[in-house]
Amino acid sequence: MLLETETITQLDIAKIRSEFPILNEIVNGKPLVYFDNAATTQKPRQVIEALANYYEHTNANIHRGIHHLAEKATADFEATRRRIQKFLNARLPEEIIFTYGTTDSINLVTQAYGRAFLKAGDEIIISTMEHHSNIVPWQMLCEENGCILRIIPINEAGELLMDEYEKMLSEKTKFVSVVHVSNSLGTINPVAEIIEKAHAVGAKVLIDGAQATSHIDVDLQALNCDFYAFSLHKLYGPTGMGILYGKEAILNAMPPYRGGGEMIKEVTFEKTTYNELPYKFEAGTPNIADVVAAKTAVDYVEKLGIEAIADYEHQLLSYATDALSNIEGLRIVGTAKEKVSVISFLVDGIHHQDIGVLLDQQGIAIRTGHHCTQPLMQRLGIPGTSRASFAVYNTFEEIDRLVTGLEKVKRMLG
Ligand SMILES: Cc1ncc(COP(=O)(O)O)c(C=O)c1O
């Protein structure tokens, strides 16, 4: 089998691993193998220290204070906004709204944009492979205002049927909301084409980038989507913090989502006027510490280089795909041509949950179940899968341990 030293990568994986303290954990007597990165990535020491540093040296509420700490906290908070603007190549920092995660970002769009601009009979297109976070908020909106949800089908490999998508588009289509990268299958969707075709009929587009920003280069101005949502905890950053990108003109036209705090200009009992972007959408005290530490996470990713990360993860994916395919009775679910380092699989006669439990006993963390994509599982005719998802700190040796672990599970239960 391939040794780690034989890989061609500019990245020093041993050094990277040494920066993630949690990778030293012993689980059930074995060194941890963490293959649940699609759920959340682990955090480098730099991010953990940035969080502690914020609470030790800066902690204050932002925007309203005139004392030293409040000014410092505000400056650090706003520095993250500019950092993320650059990272994603958004046009303006005001187009970057801090939310609590992808789910929160999508709900902001369905509630603020959807309620104001979508009406009964308007069609909203999503796809079969959406995460529940990009299904349920749209269903709630449809129930409320009578919009119609249409679903792009997929093929057996887990790729969108683009012909069917094109057939669905009409002057009735007012919104398209699709996932950039599938969390269950790893499929990278052709979002540039999806956006262009939606715009041709005058529809707005949201891209759920929860699984994309840690694996592929995202250039928002090149993509030209109207909204883009993602969570920092899947990008080596803290939990409880996400981004909604929106084009300035659209965000300006939208009513606010939540009321209170920094989102006002002036309040009287007769009438309230609202703040400018981005504050109009940031009601209440935000998650300041996590926003501040998120900048360190983005710095970290940029220092490694997203292309170098993608290249290395692709090697892991190819290696794991070959190795797992050699296991008798194992079937990979999701074989799209364009994929990130996510592998869902089934093993004949063994329930995915049993696989997860028995691998955990060997110190290997994977995820099992429907991965919050129940309609996708229904389409595939399966209750769920086992899923191994790789990040930049994973190694070929760890994949060997997964293979050995699965062979053991088969001997025990097969
Ligand atoms: C594709 C996709 N969309 C949305 C989400 C929801 O993200 P969060 O729980 O951070 O809001 C996830 C999380 O797994 C995801 O994978």
Q: List ligand 1's pocket residues with C-beta within 6 A.
A: 101-103, 131, 133-134, 179, 183, 208, 210-211, 231
Asked if 198 contacts 169 with a C-beta cutoff of 8 angstroms, the reply is: yes
Pick from 133, 134, 371, 387 the residue to mutate for probing ligand 1's pocket: most ligand atoms within 8 Å of its CB.
133
At 247-294, the pLDDT tens digits run 999 999 999 999 998 899 999 999 999 999 999 999 999 999 999 999
The answer to whether 186 and 343 have CB atoms below 8 angstroms apart is: yes
Rounded-to-integer distance, Cα 180 and Cα 177, Å: 10
Percent of the chain with pLDDT over 70: 98
Q: pLDDT for 89-123, tens place per residue?
A: 999 999 999 999 999 999 999 999 999 999 999 99
Split at pLDDT 50, 70, 90, the class of 4 is very low
Amino acid 7: pLDDT: 52
CA 160 to ligand 1 centroid distance, Å: 19
Residue 65: pLDDT band (50, 70, 90) is confident
Known active-site residue 142: no
Cβ atoms of 238 and 51 within 8 Å: the answer is: yes
pLDDT at 3 over 70: no
pLDDT attached to residue 10: 86
Q: How far is CA 66 from CA 71, 243, 286, in A?
A: 6, 27, 18
Distance 208 CA to ligand 1 centre (A): 8
Catalytic residue among 142, 147, 225, 372: 372
Average pLDDT of the segment spanning 189-199: 98
Q: Which of 177, 231, 376 to mutate to test the pocket of ligand 1 (most atoms within 8 A of CB)?
A: 231
Average pLDDT over residues 335-362: 98
| Measured torsion, CA atoms of residues 135, 138, 139, 140, in degrees rounded to the nearest 10 | 130
Question: At a CB cut-off of 8 Å and minimum separation 6, what does 82 contact?
Answer: 93
Per-residue pLDDT, averaged over 16-45, amounts to 98
Determine contact, residues 339/316, Cβ cutoff 8 Å.
Answer: no
Which ligand 1 atom lies nearest to the CA of residue 130? 1
Cross-strand pairs, 125? 150, 176
- pLDDT of 5 > 50? The answer is no
Q: Residue 87 phi/psi, 5° resolution? A: -55, -40
